[in-house]
Amino acid sequence: MHIPSLTLAYWCVLAAALLPYLSAYIAKLGAFKKRDNDAPREWMSRQGGWRARALAAQNNSFEGLPFFIGAVVIAHQLGADQLTLDLLAAAYVLLRIVYLALYIRGFGSARSAVWALGFLVNIAILFAGR
């Protein structure tokens, strides 16, 4: 198998794309049974507490993904300094991981602050090109 030579920023796109699935896995851990796979949306609608928050974090992760992917691709096309772009992309992914943890734990204000920081980092990525 050949693994392509990607920039760290592109690897961060992959990491960010996997985060929603991590949230879903956490939500289902220990509670999702084989029979629930017949109607997974019904199972999700019955969840509460941290499981419901993990599922909401999954949705938010999918919602934010297009902007991040677009920003990284645009920054590459515009010739952004690679180190700057890599650091910003890594910061975005780390902020999203913190965001997921805060969301699942139920720390709403901190979660919103981290979301805002991630959004600002994403804007910085978009304008990192020369």
pLDDT tens digits, one per residue of 12-23 = 999 999 999 999
Tokens linked to 128: 């990192």
User: Which distant-in-sequence residues (6+ apart) come within 8 Å of 128 by Cβ?
Assistant: 75, 78, 80, 81, 84, 85, 88
Q: Are the CB atoms for 97 and 42 separated by under 8 Å?
A: no
Q: Are the CB atoms for 30 and 80 separated by under 8 Å?
A: no
Which domains are seen in the chain, by residue range?
Answer: 8-32+48-126 (1.20.120.550)
Tokens linked to 12: 């961060």
d(CA 12, CA 113): 21
pTM, full prediction: 0.91
What's the sign of the alpha-carbon dihedral 115, 101, 56, 61?
positive
pLDDT tens digits, one per residue of 25-84 = 998 888 887 776 777 777 778 888 888 899 999 999 999 999 999 999 999 999 999 999
d(CA 101, CA 54): 9
Model pLDDT, residue 36: 67
Model pLDDT, residue 48: 84
Model pLDDT, residue 32: 80
